[in-house]
Amino acid sequence: MSAQATQAPHLAEAPRIEKFSPVDGSHLGDFPISSADDVERAVAAARTAFPAWRDLSLNQRFEYLERLREIVSSDGESFAKTISEDTGKPLLDSLLTELMSIPLFIDYYRKEAPRALKRRKLSRQLFFPTKTSYVEHAPMGVIAVISPWNFPFQLSMIPVLSALIAGNTVVLKPSEVTPLTGELMREIFERAGLPAGVVSVVQGDGATGAALCRADVDKIFFTGSVATGRKVMAAAAEKPIPVELELGGKDAMIVCHDANLDRAARAAVWGGFLNCGQMCISVERLFVVEAVYDAFLEKLKTEIERIRVGAPDEGSDMGPLTFGAQMGTVARHLQDARERGATIAMGGRPMEGPGQFFEPTLVLDVTEEMEIYRDETFGPVLPVIRVADEEEALRMANNHQYGLTGSVWTRDVSRGLALASRMESGQCSVNDLVLSVGNPALPFGGVKRSGFGRYHGPEGLYAFMNQKAIMVDRGLLEVEPFWYPYAPKYEAMLGTFRNLMGGKMVRALSHFYEMHKLTKKRP
C-alpha cells in the first residue's frame, strides 16, 4: 500500500498520512492531515492576500515565477528523485512529464498573457452607433486546486501557475497518495518568496478536500475520478461557484490500413505503458483495422517484450503502480475480460517480489461489454480491438462514456485530420499521442464524462478569470432613442422592428432615427 491515513496511539488527536514506497514497501514518512480549521485558515490567508496580488502588474507576477523557475532549474534532478521515490516512475518520466512543464508553460505565458489579458475592443454595431464595446478579464479571487497522484507535480503546478498569472491566489490540496511531492511543492513556493497567503498547500485526505470545497473559495479546479468529481460539483453547486472537472478517459487509438506500422506500434506501447498506464490520456482502446491487424500485432508484441520494468534507479522504462488499490482494479478488469472471452496474450499478473509491480499486459479479442473496454483501468494494460475498417473504429471510439483524447494513424494526413475532427474528444492527434497535453498553446480538457472546462493555452488563463463586458458612450447626446417617453414612439418602433426583421436595414435605421427625434421632443 502506497499511502494510508492512520492514527498512532500517542497521536490520537492528530491523524497522519503514512507513506510507503510503491517500489519496495518501505516506510517513507508520516505527514499531518490538515483539519477543516487548517483549511479555513489557509483560505482566509488567500482571501487577505488576493487584493495585493491582483493589483500587481503581469511583469511583477512573473518575477516571482522566474524565481520558481530558477529553483526548479537548479534543483530539478533532486526534485525528480523525490517525485520518483513518491510515485515509482522512472527518473526520465519525472523530468519529462513532471518538471519540464514548468519552463515550457512559464515561457509560453510570458509571451501570451499580455496579449490574452489585454482589454479587447469590439467592432461597432449598427444600432449602437455612439457606443464603444470592450471585453476584458478579471481574476476570480481564491482558487481551490485539488490534484491527483498520477502526475502529482505537473497536474498541481500548471493550474496553480495559471491561476497565479491570472491574478488569483490559490489553496492547493495535493493527493494523499503522493505526500512527498506535496511537501516538495510547499518547499518550492516558500523558496520562491511568494507573499504570505498567495499559495498555501494543505496536505490531507478526502475530508481535507471536502473541507476545501466547502470553504470560501471562488472556484474549484479538480483533477481526478468521475465519482469524486460528482461530489466536488455537488459541493460547488451549494454556493454556487464555478468548477472545472478534469476527469477520466478511455482514449482511442485508431490504426488505419495505411499507417506506418513501425511508428504506430512503438507509439501504442509508449502511450499504453507510460507511467505504468496511470494516465487519463493512456491508450486504453487500440483499434486496428483488419487489413493490417496481424502484421501490426506482431510488431506490438515485439515492442512490449522490450519494456524494462523496475525501480527508478534501475534504468527502467516502467515502474510500479503508484497507488496500491489499482492492483485490484487491474486484476478485476482482467478477470472479467477472461470470463467474457478475451485472450491475455502477454502479462496479466503482478510481478514477484516487493513493491506494486505489474506485468505489461496485452489483451486481445476485447469486446464492448467488458469492463476493460467500458471503464478506466489506469494500469499497464493494452486492450486491442480488431475492426473491419476505419469507420467501424470511429463509431466504436465515439460510442463511449469518455472523450478526453485520441489519435489516428495514417500516411494520408488529410484523411487523418478528417477522422480526428470526427472523433468525440477534447483533443485528438494524427500520427502522434500523449504529447499534445504538453503543448502549452493547446487547450486541454474533455467532453462527455471526461469532464468540462479547458486549461493550457489562453483558455488556461481565462479558466481562472471572470469575463467582463464594458460599453462606453461619450455622453454627447442628451437622450437615447429608447428612453422615455414611450407614448409617441410606438409606430416608429414598430417600423424599426418590421424592417429589421425583413432585412431592410436602411428603412429600419430611418425609423430608428425617427424614434430619436421623438424622444428629444419630450412634451
Any idea what DSSP says for residue 99?
I
Nearest Cα residue to 5 out of 220, 164, 165, 179: 179
What's the grid cell of residue 150?
498520477
- Which residue stretches of 10-98 are H helix? 36-55, 58-87, 91-93
Q: Is the pLDDT of residue 410 over 90?
A: yes
**CATH no. for 16-117+137-248+459-463:** 3.40.605.10
Residue 352 Ramachandran class (φ > 0 left, ψ -120 to 50 alpha, else beta): beta
Tens of pLDDT, residues 203-225: 999 999 999 999 999 999 999 99
Task: Report domain extents, the chain.
Answer: 16-117+137-248+459-463, 251-438, 477-520
Quote the cell numbers at residue 109.
505565458
The set of catalytic residues is 246, 280
All 3 cell numbers of residue 156? 498541481
Nearest 10 degrees: CA dihedral of 328, 330, 332, 334? -150
Peptide bond connecting 380 to the previous residue in cis, omega within 30 degrees of 0: no
pLDDT the model gives residue 134: 98
pLDDT recorded at residue 3:
64
Confidence of residue 15 (pLDDT cuts 50, 70, 90): confident
Over residues 258-302, the pLDDT tens digits come to: 999 999 999 999 999 999 999 999 999 999 999 999 999 999 999
Cell matching residue 343: 485472450
Is the domain spanning 251-438 CATH 3.30.420.40? The answer is no
Q: In the structure, what pLDDT confidence band is assigned to residue 6 with cuts at 50, 70 and 90?
A: very low
For residue 219, what is the enclosing H or E element? strand 219-223
Tell me the mean pLDDT in the region 306-321.
96
Average pLDDT estimate for 31-37: 97
Distances (CA, A) of 480 to 133, 474, 516: 17, 12, 7
